[in-house]
Chains A and B, each alone.
Chain A
Amino acid sequence: MGIVIIGNSASAVGAVEAIRKVDRSLSITIISDEPHSVYSRPLISYLLSGELRPQQIFYRSKNFYEKNRVRSLLGRCAIHVDFKKKAVQLDNDERISYDRLLIATGGKPFLPKIEGLHTPGVYTFTKLEDANRILSILKEVQKAVVIGGGLIGLKAAEALNKRKVEVTVLELADRILSLTMDSTASSILEKALRKEGVHLITSNTVEAILGNGRVESVRLADGKVLNGQLVIVAIGVSPNVEIFKGTPLKVEKGIVVNERMETNIPDVFAAGDVVETYDKILKCYRTIPIWPNAYLQGKVAGYQMSGEEKYRYDGGFMMNSIQVAHIPTISVGLTNPPSEDGFQVMKKFDRGSGIYRKIILKDDLIVGAILAGQIDRAGIMTGLLRDMVNVKGFKKELLNDQFGFVSLPKSLRKERLLNIK
C-alpha cells in the first residue's frame, strides 16, 4: 500500500524528493521496466559520443532508493492497472496495491510506417539500452542514417560523427529543428553541422529500409539510395499510455490532469511526458515533453500525494537548450509567431560572430526568445516571460548582448533581486 509510482525518471524523482520533504514514513514503491537505477535519458547521446563516463549517466546517487526509503521494483513491467481495486498488475503475476498512484511512464518513440523498419540495425534513441546496443555494434558501422532532424536526432548524429561514423540526417521539413527554432537559427546550426561533417538532407525522408538480415541501405522518397549499417529513428515521442487503453483513465493528447496533477480517477496522479498540461503561451492543452516540466510536475504530484496541498502546477511552456556543433542555443516559448495577431519581433544577427538574438513580444510581454552563439544570462529572459513582466520601459535593451539586471528600471530590479524564489 502507500504510494506507487510507475516510472523511474525525472517525474518519479521529483515526486519522491517532494514526498520525503514532508513525510519520512509514507511507503513508496517505484516500478520500472528498465533494470537500471535512476539515470538521465537525455544523457545517452553523451554516452554514445564517448564524452560521458558510464557512471555519469546516473541522475541520482546509487543509494537514492535506500536514502529515500523507496522500494524499487526495477526491470519489472506494469502491464495493467485495476483502478477499481487500486492495484498495479506486473508481468510476473504479482499485484501491487496502492493508496495513491503516480503514472510517470514518460514518452515512447514514435515509429513511422516505413518498409523494413524491423530490420536488425534499426534503433530508436531514447533509452540507455538503445545507446548500449548501438555502442555494441559501432565497430561494424561506417555509415549511418538518422531519420529526424529534431533534438534527439541531431544529438545522435553528432555523437556518431564524433565516433567517426559518416552520418546523414533526414528531415521531412525544409530545415532542422523546425519546431523550436526559426529559419535563421536553423540555418546557423545547419551550417555548423555540415562543417563538422554531418550530412543533412531536408524536405525528404526514408521510404524503405533495405538489407538482407541487416541494414544495408535506405531508399529516400525521391528514389535516392543511401548506404549505411545503422539507422536511428528519431521523429518524436508520444505519451506512453498503452497499458491504459480500455480503462476509464482520460487521455487526450496525453493523460488529462488538473493543477494538482490528479487524473480523472480518484487517487491517481500523472506527471511528465505522459501528460498534457496547459501551455501558458500558446494558451492550449498539449504535451510539453521537457525535463524541467517533468521534474516540476512530479514534485507537485509528490506534494499532493502526501497531503501538502499548496503546491500547484498551473502550466508551462516549451523551452530547449541545445548545443550542437559547438554552438549553444536556447529557445523559449513561441519562436515562430504567426505574422498577424500583433506580435512584435525584435532580432539581431551578427554574421561575423554568428551570434543571433531574437525576442518575440505581445502586448509588451515576452512570449518567446531564441539565442544562438551567446546564451549567457538567457534565464533572465525566461524569468521575465514566466512571470509575465511588462517590458515596455526597457524593450530595446532586450537585444543588447550585455542585457542584465542593470538594464531594468531600479524598482523592478530591486523587486526581482530581493525576492528570492
Chain B
Amino acid sequence: MKRIFVKEEVCIGCRLCEIHCVVEHSKSKNIIKAFKDENPRILPRIFVEEKGKVSFGLQCRHCEEPYCLEACMSGALYKDEKTGAVLHNREQCVGCWMCVMVCPYGVIRRDLNEKKIASKCDLCLGKEIPVCVARCPNEALEYREV
C-alpha cells in the first residue's frame, strides 16, 4: 500500500498542504468558500510542525496494525479492506480520545468544532494522489509504496 512520506530537507513550512487539505475536505471544495463561508472551518488533517528552519507536514501513517483501531472503543475507526487506509466514521465517534492517547505519531486530533469528533487523514478517499502531495510546491511530500 502507498503511504505519504515527508522530506523535511525541502519543506519550507508554507502550509499549503494544510490549506489544500481543508479545501479538499470542505463542503464546497472551493478555496475561497472553504475559508470565508464555511463555518466552523474544518481542521486540516495534515499538520506542519515547525521549529527554526526545520519543518515538515505529518498526517496519519495508516499503520499495518494500527494502535488507534485497537483502542477505539466506539468502533468508529476501521481499516478499509480494499485500500488498507485507516478511516474514521464520524457518526460513530463519541470523542473518547483513546486514539489520541495511543497514536504514536500524534496525528489524530480533537475536532472541537464538530462535537468533539477526531479528525484524521483519509488519504483523500481514493484520489490517485492525495492533495497535500499533489499541491506541495517543493515535492516535500511523497506518495509511494512503503
Least distance between B30 CB and chain A CB atoms (Å):
29
Nearest residue (CB) in A for B108 is A379
B85 to chain A, nearest CB (A): 13
A83 CA / B54 CA spacing, docked (Å): 61
Map CB proximity to B onto A295-332 as digits: 1 under 8 Å, 0 otherwise: 11001000000000000000000011101000010101
Cα of A376 to Cα of B55 in the assembled complex, Å: 19
Which of B50, B56, B75, B97 interacts with A40 by CB under 8 Å? B75
User: Which residues from 168 to 193 on chain A have a C-beta closer than 8 Å to any C-beta of chain B?
Assistant: none
> Is A379 a contact partner of B70 (Cβ separation < 8 A)?
no
Interface pair A295/B71, CB less than 8 Å apart: yes
Q: Contact at A417–B58, with CB atoms within 8 Å?
A: yes
Which residue in A14, A46, A383 is a CB contact (below 8 Å) of B70?
A14
- Tell me whether A379 and B100 are in contact in the complex, defined as CB-CB below 8 angstroms, given that A56-B92, A404-B49, A421-B65 are known contacts: yes
- A320 CA to B3 CA, complexed, in Å: 30
Bound-state CA distance A51–B91 (Å) is 12
Q: List A contacts of B73 (CB < 8 A).
A: 10, 40, 42-43, 59, 291
Interface assignment of A375: CB less than 8 Å from any CB of chain B: yes
A126 to B61, CA, bound (A): 34
Q: Which of A56, A292, A296, A328 has the most CB of B within 10 A?
A: A292
Are B5 and A418 closer than 8 Å at their CB atoms?
Answer: yes
Q: Which residues of B contact A243 (CB under 8 A)?
A: none
Chain A: interface residue total (CB-CB under 8 A): 45
Residue of B62, B94, B104 touching A386 (CB-CB under 8 A) = B104
Shortest distance in angstroms between A164's beta carbon and chain B's nearest beta carbon?
21
Most buried by B among A60, A382, A410: A382
Is there contact, CB below 8 Å, between B100 and A43? no
Q: Please name the residue on chain B nearest to A374 by beta carbon.
A: B110
B129 in contact (CB, < 8 A): no
Given contacts A14-B70, A56-B91, A296-B70, contact A291 B98 (CB under 8 A): yes
> Closest approach, in angstroms, between the C-beta of A395 and any C-beta of chain B?
16
Contact present for A378 and B101 (CB under 8 Å): yes
Of residues 59 through 111 on chain B, the ones whose CB sits less than 8 Å from some CB of chain A are 61-67, 70-71, 73-75, 91-92, 94-106, 108-110
Residues of chain A within 8 A (CB-CB) of B64 are 420-421
A319 to chain B: which residues have CB within 8 Å?
Answer: 101-102
Which residues of B lie under 8 Å from residue A60 when comparing CB positions?
Answer: 75
Residues of B within 8 A of A330 (CB): 97, 100-101
B106 and A380 form a contact (CB under 8 A): yes
* Structural contact, A405 and B100, CB atoms closer than 8 A: no
In the assembled complex, A349 has its CB within 8 A of some CB on chain B:
no
When chains A and B are docked, how far (Å) is the Cα of A218 from the Cα of B100?
39
Question: Per a CB cutoff under 8 Å, which of A14, A321, A406, A421 touches B101?
Answer: A321
Q: Are A375 and B67 in contact (CB under 8 A)?
A: no
Flag if A59 contacts B75 (CB, 8 Å).
yes
Give the residue of B5, B98, B104, B106 whose beta carbon is less than 8 angstroms from that of A421. B104
A387 to B104, CA, bound (A): 10
* Residues on B with beta carbons closer than 8 Å to the beta carbon of A58: 75
Known: A60-B75, A416-B104. A421 touches B67 (CB 8 A): yes
Q: Write out the residue numbers on chain B whose beta carbons fall within 8 Å of the beta carbon of A52.
A: 94
Contacts of B62 in A (CB 8 A): 420
Q: List 27 A-B contacts (CB under 8 A).
A: A40-B74, A43-B74, A52-B94, A56-B92, A292-B70, A292-B71, A295-B70, A319-B102, A320-B101, A323-B96, A332-B101, A375-B101, A376-B106, A378-B101, A379-B67, A379-B100, A380-B104, A404-B106, A406-B54, A413-B8, A416-B105, A417-B61, A420-B61, A420-B62, A420-B63, A421-B64, A421-B65
| Among all A-B residue pairs, the 4 with the closest Cβ atoms | A383-B104, A377-B106, A379-B103, A292-B71
Interface residues of B (CB under 8 A from A): 3, 5-6, 8, 49-51, 54-56, 58, 61-67, 70-71, 73-75, 91-92, 94-106, 108-110, 146
Which residues of A are interface residues toward B (Cβ below 8 A)?
10, 14, 40, 42-43, 46, 51-52, 56, 58-60, 291-292, 295-296, 299, 319-321, 323, 328, 330, 332, 375-380, 382-383, 386-387, 404-407, 410, 413, 416-418, 420-421
